[in-house]
Amino acid sequence: MSILGIIPARGGSKGVKDKNILEIAGRPLIAYTIDAALESARLDKVVVSTDSTKIADVVREHYSIDIIMRPPEFARDDSPIEESFFHAVEYLKEAEGFDTDILVWIQPNVPIRKPGIVDEALGKLLDSGADSCVTCYETDQVPEVMKRIDSRGFLVPLYKDVSAIRRQEFERCYLLDGSVVVIRKANLYNTRGIRKAHVYLGDKTIPVIQEKMEYSLEIDVPDDLDLVKYYLER
């Protein structure tokens, strides 16, 4: 069984310019994720998939891992992330004869990870019959009490016929944080071309629930930088 760790790092970040190579606490952002991948004892190969020569140059300056240059059509704002996975899997098979069974997607905009989290998520999937395993965190938001704006401009319930009233009566809810996503390649290909949120995870997804909020911090907008810097410097 071959396991691929893939770090997709697109160059066209809109929220924070050049965020993947932005220096945070003395290091480029992507370095924190590469270190987490290289720490794993279970990954057979780690690659960075990017459309940016600037990102590729920064990675080469610090590491000797494989870099897969992603075609522009797989790196647009509206390009599904799965397309970068297909490209990497097929490139490695053709160029190196490396045939992947499981992909471990590790996002570079999530820099703080618990040591060993990659192997923890991998082990959980391998010990189960699940299609995927993801890191996630419990949210204090309650979807059942949320509202939406209808075609008339009025706030209306997002869900109808909600009988619970007190927060304690609602089920706990969790959000994926993008820190580690482990996917069986077979399921990825079985859902190719289907445009639905998280369809590549399959029907059976098992969680690794984060123990601390800093493990789920993502850098998407400039205001996220100060909080991440605070925890990294601690």
pLDDT of 163 reads 75
CB atoms within 10 A of CB 93: 12
- Say whether pLDDT at 88 is over 90: yes
pLDDT at residue 11, rounded to an integer: 84
Task: Give the pLDDT band (50/70/90) at residue 46.
Answer: very high
**pLDDT > 90 fraction of the chain, expressed in percent and rounded:** 70
What are the tens digits of pLDDT across the range 109-146? 999 999 999 999 999 999 998 999 999 999 988 888 88
Dig out the tokens for 28 from the structure. Answer: 């480029």
More confident residue, 21 or 168: 21
Count Cα neighbours of 119 within 13 Å in the Cβ-side half-sphere.
10
> Helices in the chain by DSSP H: which ranges?
29-39, 53-62, 81-96, 117-126, 185-190, 223-233
Residue 211: CB atoms within 10 Å: 10
Note the pLDDT of residue 156.
92
Query: Residue 60 pLDDT > 90, yes or no?
Result: yes
DSSP 8: E
Distance from C-alpha of 214 to C-alpha of 145, rounded to nearest angstrom? 27
Residue with tokens 């790092």: 9
* Closest C-alpha among 178, 179, 159 to residue 170: 159
Percentage of the chain with pLDDT > 70?
Answer: 99
Average pLDDT rounded to a whole number, residues 49-55: 94
For 138-197, the pLDDT digits (tens) are 998 888 888 999 999 999 988 888 876 777 778 899 999 989 999 999 999 999 888 888
DSSP bridge pairs for 203: none
CB under 8 Å to 2, separation ≥6 — which residues? 44, 45, 98, 99, 100, 101, 102
Pairing between β-strand 3-8 and β-strand 45-50 as defined by DSSP bridges: parallel
Half-sphere exposure of 43 (CA within 13 A, CB side): 27
CATH superfamily of 3-135+177-233: Spore Coat Polysaccharide Biosynthesis Protein SpsA; Chain A (3.90.550.10)
